[in-house]
Chains A and B, each alone.
Chain A
Amino acid sequence: MAPGILLALLGVAVVAWIAYNGVQNGKLFWVVTLNGITLAALFFVVAAGFTLIFGLMRVVNMAHGSLFLLAGYIAFTLQGTLYGVSSNLLSGTPATVVSWIVPLVVATIVIGLAGVLMQQVFLRWNQGQDLRQALITIAISVILADQMVAHFGGIAESIQQPAAWPDSVTVLGVHYGFFRLVVVVGAAIVIGGLLFLVIKRTRFGMIIRAGVDDRSMVSALGVNIQVVFAGAFLIGALLAGLAGVLGGTMLAVQPGNDSAFLLDSLIVVIIGGMGSLGGAAIGSLALGLVSSYSNVYLNFGTTDLTNYSILLTFILVVAMLAVRPLGLFGRPA
Chain B
Amino acid sequence: MLRPQRNEFRRLLATAALGLLAVTACANNSSTTTTTSGVIKIGILSDCAGDFGSFYNDDIGGALSVLAAHYGGKATGSLPKDGMTGAKIAGKDIQIVGFGCSDSTANKAIEETRRLVEQLGADILIGPLSGDEGIAVANYAKTNQPNKTFLNGISGAQEATLKVQAPNFFRFNPDGAQWSAGLGSYAYNKLGWRTAAVIGDDYAFPYTSLAGFIAEFCAIGGNVTKRVWPPLGTTDFSSFVAQLPTNVDGTFVGIGGAGLITFLKQYQQANGAISSKHFMGNLFWIDPQLLTAIGTPLVGAVAASGIAADDTSAQTKAYVQELSVYPATQKDAASVFTLGYWSAMTALGMALTSVNGDISGNQKALQAALAKIVIDGPYGKISLDSNRQAIADNWVTQVTPPPAGSNVPGLKTILQIPKVDQTFGGFFSSSTPNLDRSNPPCAKKTPPPWVGNEVPVNFG
Q: Which residues of A contact B (CB under 8 A)?
A: 28, 31-32, 35-36, 38-39, 54, 58, 60, 62, 86-92, 130-131, 134-135, 137-138, 141-142, 149, 153-158, 167-168, 175-177, 179-180, 213-217, 251-252, 254-257, 259-260, 262-263, 266, 270, 274, 291-292, 295-296, 304, 306-307, 309-310, 325-326, 330, 332-333
Contacts and interface: CB of A to CB of B under 8 A. Distances in A.
B264 A89 contact: yes
A331 to B, nearest CB: 9
Contacts of A295: 230, 239-240
Interface stretch (B293-301, B349-357, B449-457): B293-301
A255 B297 CA distance: 24
A292 B239 contact: yes
A158 B261 contact: yes
Contacts of B231: 307, 309-310
Nearest to A132: B15
Interface stretch (B4-12, B28-36, B367-375): B4-12
Nearest to A249: B265
A157 B12 contact: no
B29 to A, nearest CB: 16
Interface stretch (B50-58, B108-116, B156-164, B169-177): B50-58
A134 B265 contact: no
A88 B295 contact: yes
Given A138-B19, A141-B23, A155-B258, A39 B54 contact: no
A156 B293 contact: yes
Given A252-B265, A256-B233, A325 B407 contact: no
B144 interface: no
Interface in B37-83: 48-56
B190 interface: no
Contact of A88 (B55, B240, B407): B407
A255 B48 CA distance: 11
Interface of B: 2-6, 8-13, 15-16, 18-20, 22-24, 26, 48-56, 202, 229-231, 233, 235-236, 238-240, 242-243, 257-259, 261-262, 264-266, 268-272, 289-290, 292-297, 407-408, 437-438
Given A92-B407, A141-B23, A154-B54, A131 B15 contact: yes
Among B5, B6, B258, B272, find the residue whose CB has the most chain A CB atoms closer than 10 A: B258
B2 A263 contact: no
A158 B294 CA distance: 10
Contact of B261 (A252, A262, A274): A252
A158 B260 CA distance: 12
Contacts of A58: 4, 8, 12
Contacts of B290: 155
Looking at chain B's contact residues, the main secondary structure is helix
A87 B293 contact: yes
B15 A89 contact: no
B258 A177 contact: no
25 contacts: A31-B238, A31-B270, A39-B238, A62-B19, A89-B261, A90-B295, A134-B19, A138-B22, A155-B54, A155-B290, A167-B268, A167-B272, A176-B270, A177-B270, A180-B269, A213-B4, A251-B235, A255-B53, A263-B20, A291-B236, A295-B240, A296-B239, A325-B10, A332-B5, A332-B6
Contacts of A213: 3-4
A131 B11 CA distance: 9
B234 to A, nearest CB: 9
B267 to A, nearest CB: 11
Among B10, B230, B240, B261, find the residue whose CB has the most chain A CB atoms closer than 10 A: B261
Contacts of B48: 149, 154
Contacts of A216: 2
A88 to B, nearest CB: 3
A310 B235 CA distance: 13
Contacts of B268: 90, 167
A90 B293 contact: no
A215 B258 CA distance: 44
A29 to B, nearest CB: 9
Contacts of A60: 12, 15-16, 19
A156 B259 contact: yes
Contacts of A177: 238, 266, 269-270
Given A252-B262, A259-B23, A263-B20, A270 B53 contact: no
B265 to A, nearest CB: 6
Given A134-B16, A158-B262, A260-B235, 19 more contacts: A39-B238, A54-B12, A60-B12, A62-B23, A87-B293, A89-B293, A90-B265, A91-B295, A91-B296, A130-B15, A134-B18, A154-B50, A154-B257, A155-B293, A156-B258, A214-B3, A255-B50, A255-B258, A332-B6
